[in-house]
Amino acid sequence: MSVPPEPDVTEVAAASPAVAPSLLDAVRDLRRDIDATAFPLEISGVDAARVSRTRLLDQLTDHLLPRLEKLSAPAIVVLAGSTGAGKSTLVNSLLRAEVSAAGVLRPTTRQPVIAFHPDDDELLAGHPVLEAVKIVRHASVPRGIALLDAPDLDSVLESNRDTAHRLFEAADLWLFVTTVARYGDALSWQVLAGAMERGASVAMVLNRVPADSLVTVRGDLLGRLRERGMQGVPLFVVPDAGPHEGLLSPASVAPIMRWLTMLAGPDRARSVILRTLRGSLAALRPWVDAQAEAVQDQVDAASEVRDEVGRILVVPAQTAVAAVLAGAVADGPVRARWAELAAGAGPFARVVRPSGRIRGSRRSAARVRESAVAPLLEDLRRSASAALQGAGAAAERALRDGLGGAGAPGGAPALVASWAPDVRAAAREAGATRLAAAWIENADREVRSALQASGAREAKRSARVVRSLGVGGLTAVVLAAAAGLEPAHELLLSLVPGAETALLGAVRAGLVDGAREQVTREGAALERLLDVPDLADDAASRLRLRLAVLKDLT
Ligand SMILES: Nc1nc2c(ncn2[C@@H]2O[C@H](COP(=O)(O)OP(=O)(O)OP(=O)(O)O)[C@@H](O)[C@H]2O)c(=O)[nH]1
Ligand SMILES: [Mg+2]
């Protein structure tokens, strides 16, 4: 069996753009990312970048993508030819599936059937050719082409001129199917010539050719094509399968399938699209590059603002630490409450005898004294909270001053202007309250573990202290001393001589850490305004990646 030489498909392919999903997808991805790009910081050049983004988006949405989608739409391959030529059988045999009914009754196919790959659904959506045809989605159709099995043209013309017209208009490629008995018909050649005049590409299938006449018939047909100036038309010869049901052998239709697959090939289709859109696609690159640069400028500006926040907060942090070490938490109500509790019969009065011995006590009396101390703990908690809030507020003021004025990094003034003060104040109050409560709780833990850790001699003394003041009472003394209250400090040293280094140091450090923490939180709150994807370190790489993909494809 002689197989016809593979036809030269260059010309046909050039006129029949097929799908290039990768390029279309790349441009769609690019559009989505440009759409998602924001320039949140008001830095110099941002207005131009925003205008450019809008224009780029319009260009992609209104011009480039529609054109690309149109060019990427699958090529419509119409199988035409006289009734009984075997068009439906051929379609089924190419796809190895019964997508179009074939049969002995003439004519069999009354309504055109179009078959395409399910993934091409979206690309064909709204195509006018779909209106009057039966649609079959089948995965064995190569992506990028749609096979349309038409009724024979005479009957189409008789029954429905509209449908015929639409088929003629839609066809990117006519696969003209004829037989040995019919290829001489005048009508066939008229239709062929008409299709070529309209600029459609044409290929011919000589079907059901008996083995003994194969060579002769093929030669004769090639001669006729040459006579009419159609020597470029690819010709496929399919040997007669004899009386049969169902599909032709895969081998007999393989050359046609190979050729269709080649038509649909993404590389070839891409070259067609590129020829058409090369200018527009090339113009995109510097444009996208400039957008990526503008995004990088935003990222750099954000990191400058972060650095500046760190620099600005050095002084407020030092001031806050100095203030608590200087006794800010001990002033006011705490001092007054202490005086009250240390006077007369108060729990802190005469705890240590002039001899140095600790006042002995019954348990019940210690409990009374411990509860009398509770208001002092509450005063300490409130005072610590107020001091921490004050430190935070000072840090916020420093940030607003430092970032809001002339000489601040680009974008910073607008950023602090958008920083809502009331929200911040409420969050700060809650944060300071928690930090102060944690300070008290930690002190309680420190005291308890110090009591347990003390050696034999100290243990006796500790036990007396606890009997006299309760753990709560001792904790209050330690806290007040750590806050800087002098009389509390003195009492603590006379109660627990070794307290200065370990216990007192730890509780004081807790207060200092809280002050630092409160200042840090102000900076963190401001920096959260910079926590958007567009200002992340790698924000520009998204567009650069799109650019690289586009470069690879064009
Ligand atoms: N002997 C023989 N019969 C074939 C061959 N190819 C198709 N047939 C038969 O020819 C008849 C017509 O085939 P179809 O595929 O329905 O032809 P069609 O071109 O779609 O016809 P319409 O739909 O009427 O335009 C069917 O019975 C097929 O089985 C072949 O190579 N040899
Ligand atoms: Mg048919």
pLDDT of residue 530: 97
Average pLDDT value for residue range 394-408:
95
User: Separation of 184 CA from ligand 2 center, angstroms?
Assistant: 20
- Find the ligand nearest to 175 CA: 1
pLDDT of residue 162: 64
- Find the ligand nearest to 156 CA: 1
Among positive and negative, which fits the CA dihedral 384, 387, 390, 396? negative
- Find the ligand nearest to 89 CA: 1
User: Separation of 345 CA from ligand 2 center, angstroms?
Assistant: 114
Give the atom of ligand 1 at the shortest distance from the alpha carbon of 100: 20
User: Separation of 91 CA from ligand 2 center, angstroms?
Assistant: 9
Calculate the dihedral angle through the C-alpha atoms of 14, 18, 23, 29, rounding to the nearest 10 degrees.
150
Using one digit for the tens of pLDDT, what is the confidence trace for 421-469?
A: 888 899 999 999 999 999 999 999 999 988 887 677 777 888 888 888 8
Mean pLDDT score of the chain: 87
Measured distance CA(63)–CA(71) in Å, rounded: 12
User: Separation of 162 CA from ligand 2 center, angstroms?
Assistant: 19
* Mutation test residue for ligand 1: of 1, 89, 252, the one with most atoms within 8 Å of CB: 89
Peptide bond into 107 cis (omega under 30): yes
Per-residue pLDDT at 510 exceeds 80: yes
User: Separation of 80 CA from ligand 2 center, angstroms?
Assistant: 9
Question: Do the beta carbons of residue 411 and residue 421 sit within 8 Å?
Answer: no
Give the atom of ligand 1 at the shortest distance from the alpha carbon of 90: 15
Measured distance CA(246)–CA(100) in Å, rounded: 11
Average pLDDT value for residue range 254-264:
86
Q: H-type helices in 106-213, by residue range?
A: 121-124, 153-159, 161-170, 186-197
Pick from 53, 39, 54, 52: nearest CA to 414 = 39
Question: Do the beta carbons of residue 28 and residue 280 sit within 8 Å?
Answer: no
pTM assigned to the model:
0.67
- Find the ligand nearest to 85 CA: 1
Per-residue pLDDT at 123 exceeds 90: no
CA-nearest residue for atom 7, ligand 1, is 86
pLDDT of residue 10: 38
Greatest mean pLDDT range, 61-70, 259-268, 358-367: 61-70
Phi, psi of 166, deg, nearest 5: -60, -40
pLDDT of residue 269: 63
More confident: 365 or 154: 365
User: Separation of 84 CA from ligand 1 center, angstroms?
Assistant: 5
* Mutation test residue for ligand 1: of 82, 88, 187, 191, the one with most atoms within 8 Å of CB: 88
Measured distance CA(189)–CA(204) in Å, rounded: 11
Question: What one-letter code names the amino acid at 62?
Answer: D
Average pLDDT value for residue range 238-265:
88
Q: What share of the chain is helix, strand, coil (3-state, %, to 5)?
A: 65, 10, 25
DSSP bridge partners of 205: 177, 236
Give the atom of ligand 1 at the shortest distance from the alpha carbon of 177: 19
Average pLDDT value for residue range 195-209:
84
Give the atom of ligand 1 at the shortest distance from the alpha carbon of 110: 23
Question: Do the beta carbons of residue 492 and residue 504 sit within 8 Å?
Answer: yes
Measured distance CA(325)–CA(368) in Å, rounded: 32
Give the atom of ligand 1 at the shortest distance from the alpha carbon of 208: 31
Complete DSSP assignment for 264-287: H-HHHHHHHHHHHHHHHHHHHHHH
Residues within 6 Å of ligand 1 by CB: 83-89, 102-104, 106-109, 151-152, 208, 240-243
